[in-house]
Amino acid sequence: MKTMILIRLRNTVVLLLLATLLCFTLVVSAPGNVAVLIAELRSPKSTFEQIRAVEEELGLNDPIIVRYGNWLTGAMRGDLGISYKTGESIGPALASRLHVTAILVAGGACIAMLLSFALGFVGALWPGRASDVATRVIALLGASMPSFFVGALLIYGLAVELRLLPTFGDAGLTSWVMPWMTIGLLPAAVLSRVVRVGLEEAMARPFALTASAKGLSRAQTLFKHALPNIAPSYINALGAQGGAMVVGAVVVEPLFALKGVADLFLQGVLFRDFMVVQACLLIFLTSFIVLNLLVDIGMMFTDPKLRRQGANA
């Protein structure tokens, strides 16, 4: 087990290095002269000497390898460069927004897990009945509707018509309800099918038949015996949907006026602020890679086959 975890950690470090290289290449290959953009931010009528001074200050005349090493060292310290738009350091701006995106994705993940287990368990408890059909229809609708459409429906229904929830901004717990539902509905629909199909397959195995023969009800068999057996596949699917929720934040944050990393990323794209785009992409890629590492470790602890492979490694 320790050997497998160390291998995953090694692969994660390699992937993180490749991610930093990709993000650095994005800015290096961007059209235009970075020094000119920054010099114009400082002085609208910048001279050639001012542009050369900016190039020396940022090390733009150094070899690419040296520039990458300096940028990577700075990124590890939290120095992610200077915004072309504002001329301010990007690190503090990201730090002040990171918790917003983290709360959004974490809350959406909780909503997705609760709904998926509820829908999947109800469908497996009464297979073929009206409740099973209803959960399938709900899952199909949830997986078919894009996040911006779900958000618009929630805003119109819960905020405009019923006036139950605020429509935008971070004004307390109630202001997070609609964003969490918006970002969590699609993953909940996908994960509910994982739960439903996994429970149905588990109930056809000998251990479930033995439990039923001992007098356990279907609900007890599902909860005590079938549910733990779908943990590896559920964790794997949850990791994939977690990455999708990070991407979904790019749509949900502007919709509800949440000032998170995804909103900053869109501003960077809109104003061609390549340093901001680079920093946000680095955050996104790092979150994907770390999430996949956690998924792999979680599957090692929940899948007996992987534990045996780790013991033999």
Q: Is residue 187 part of a domain?
A: yes
Q: Is residue 224 part of a domain?
A: yes
**Under-70 pLDDT residues of the chain:** 30-35, 37-44, 46, 55, 57-60, 306-313
Find all residues with CB under 8 Å of 137, minimum gap 6, and list them.
Answer: none
Give me the domain span that covers residue 185.
Answer: 97-261
Nearest-CA neighbor of 113 among 57, 38, 191, 7?
A: 191
CATH of the domain at 157: 1.10.3720.10
Nearest-CA neighbor of 277 among 14, 43, 29?
A: 29
**Alpha-carbon separation of residue 50 from 32, 189, 245 (angstroms):** 17, 56, 43
Q: Is residue 211 part of a domain?
A: yes
Q: Supply the pLDDT for residue 257.
A: 87
**Alpha-carbon separation of residue 281 from 88, 169, 285, 304 (angstroms):** 18, 24, 6, 36
Q: Is residue 289 part of a domain?
A: no
Q: Is residue 171 part of a domain?
A: yes
Number of domains in the chain: 1
Which pair of structure tokens corresponds to residue 208? Answer: 């479930």
228-272 pLDDT, tens digit each: 889 889 999 999 899 889 988 998 999 898 899 999 999 888 877
**Amino acid letter at 243?**
G
Q: Is residue 174 part of a domain?
A: yes
Q: Supply the pLDDT for residue 109.
A: 94
As a whole number of Å, the end-to-end CA separation of the chain is: 7
**Alpha-carbon separation of residue 40 from 30, 47, 153 (angstroms):** 17, 9, 44
Token pair 């946000």: residue: 280
pTM for the whole structure: 0.86
Q: Is residue 251 part of a domain?
A: yes
Q: Supply the pLDDT for residue 204.
A: 86
Q: Is residue 11 part of a domain?
A: no
